[in-house]
A and B are shown apart, each in its own frame.
Chain A
Amino acid sequence: MGNFRFHQYQVVGRALPTETEEHPKIYRMKLWATNEVRAKSKFWYFLRKLKKVKKSNGQVLAINEIFERKPTKIKNYGVWLRYQSRTGYHNMYKEYRDTTLNGAVEQMYNEMASRHRVRQHCIQIIKTATIPSKLCKRESTKQFHDSKIKFPLVFKKVRPPFRKLKTTYKASRPNLFK
């Protein structure tokens, strides 16, 4: 379906058992990373901030990739994030319309980079959720909640169907209409 840059992983880990604590509490995190190694690293980063445990005295029990349940259904995703700008940390809530959560998260990273010049490592995803259409806040997602949606494609870019046919000069002017 999609070649996503960001994969969603479920990482489960706990502190190592000691004599004082035979069965330490197990924690699970769902996070986004480009690969499994990074996912585990991110897991420890967040867990360190929440609990008194580090990678050196902890263990990852399981790491699984989470795939989209219904990749053919269009959903409205709400993403809550915390990002670092040049002047400080800010929280944000963004909405995206996509078929998969990974796609929406990728959109989010691209948008943050373009609109706010925030790079990937400065963004922390706090929460993501599928939002029913009634509860969407942003006009740009709400405008697509129309069952009789209809609009023309105003500007048609003429594109060679495969790269072999791509040339610098063409014999005739392109027809940009329709």
Chain B
Amino acid sequence: QGRFRISHHALDRTVREAISNPNDHKTLGALRPLSSAVVESLSLALKMPFKRYVEIGRVAFVTYGKEYGRLVVIVDVIDQNRALVDSPEMVRGQINFKRLSLTDIKIDIPRVPKKKTLIDAMETADVKNKWENSSWGRKLIVQKRRASLNDFDRFKVMLAKIKRGGAIRQELAKLKKADVA
């Protein structure tokens, strides 16, 4: 990886420590935040296992609290623990990173955009579709559906499962017969 040589004099001691111990999470944690250029070069040189970064435009999923289950966009970073977060249906507010789960989706927005700019950017990046087609998004939709079934629906699901099991077993029997023969 000769192209991505980092000048060690340009980086300070903590960064140098992190480079020499790439698996030491404690020094890596103390590094944040770094300027984006340094992070890029580090992640290429170290092959840092981090693919999802807290950055302006990162879409995150709220995993705790009143806003549970909502997709929000990180619009600015307040400090080490909190981000300013926005979404088309909510008032812009702060949220702790501990309540967020970063997703793979990132949209292109300036720092702290107006609501309209944010909505337009989300449309162009097609966040809703990307989310619903991702495996994480699909799982959530299925979970929601299952939780909202009524008894009749569960009965129908039971019949469908039996039918599916029967079809699988038929195919398996056919394959076994073909194998033996």
Please give the residue numbers on chain A whose beta carbons come within 8 Å of chain B beta carbons, in ascending order: 1, 72-74, 97-99, 140-141, 143-144, 146-157, 159, 161-162, 177-178
**Assembly CA distance A99 to B93 (angstroms):** 9
Stretch at the interface among B1-9, B27-35, B167-175: B27-35
19 A-B pairs with C-beta separation under 8 A:
A72-B91, A74-B112, A97-B79, A140-B79, A146-B33, A146-B35, A146-B36, A148-B35, A150-B34, A150-B36, A151-B34, A153-B97, A154-B50, A161-B63, A162-B64, A162-B68, A178-B50, A178-B51, A178-B102
Listed from nearest, the 5 A-B pairs whose CB atoms lie closest are A151-B32, A152-B50, A151-B33, A150-B55, A72-B92
Q: Which residue of B lies closest to A96 (CB)?
A: B79
Q: What chain A residues lie within 8 Å of B77 (beta carbons)?
A: 144, 149
Q: Counting CB contacts under 8 A, is B105 at the interface?
A: no
**Assembly CA distance A1 to B55 (angstroms):** 23
Q: Counting CB contacts under 8 A, is B45 at the interface?
A: no
How many residue pairs bridge A and B at CB < 8 Å? 90
Q: How distant is B16 from chain A, measured CB to nearest CB, in Å?
A: 18
Q: What chain B residues lie within 8 Å of A97 (beta carbons)?
A: 78-79
Q: How distant is B144 from chain A, measured CB to nearest CB, in Å?
A: 14
The answer on a CB contact under 8 Å between A161 and B68 is: yes
Q: B109-139, CB under 8 A of A: which get 1 and which 0?
A: 0011000000000000000000000000000
The answer on a CB contact under 8 Å between B63 and A159 is: yes
The answer on a CB contact under 8 Å between A151 and B92 is: no
Q: Counting CB contacts under 8 A, is B158 at the interface?
A: no
**Assembly CA distance A154 to B34 (angstroms):** 13
Which B residues, 48 to 106, have Cβ-Cβ distances below 8 Å to chain A? 48-56, 63-64, 68, 76-79, 84, 91-94, 97-98, 101-102
**Assembly CA distance A162 to B84 (angstroms):** 22
The answer on a CB contact under 8 Å between A99 and B84 is: yes
Q: How distant is B162 from chain A, measured CB to nearest CB, in Å?
A: 27
Q: What chain A residues lie within 8 Å of B92 (beta carbons)?
A: 72
Q: What chain A residues lie within 8 Å of B54 (beta carbons)?
A: 149-153
**Assembly CA distance A148 to B38 (angstroms):** 11
Q: Counting CB contacts under 8 A, is B39 at the interface?
A: yes
**Assembly CA distance A153 to B103 (angstroms):** 12
The answer on a CB contact under 8 Å between B25 and A155 is: yes
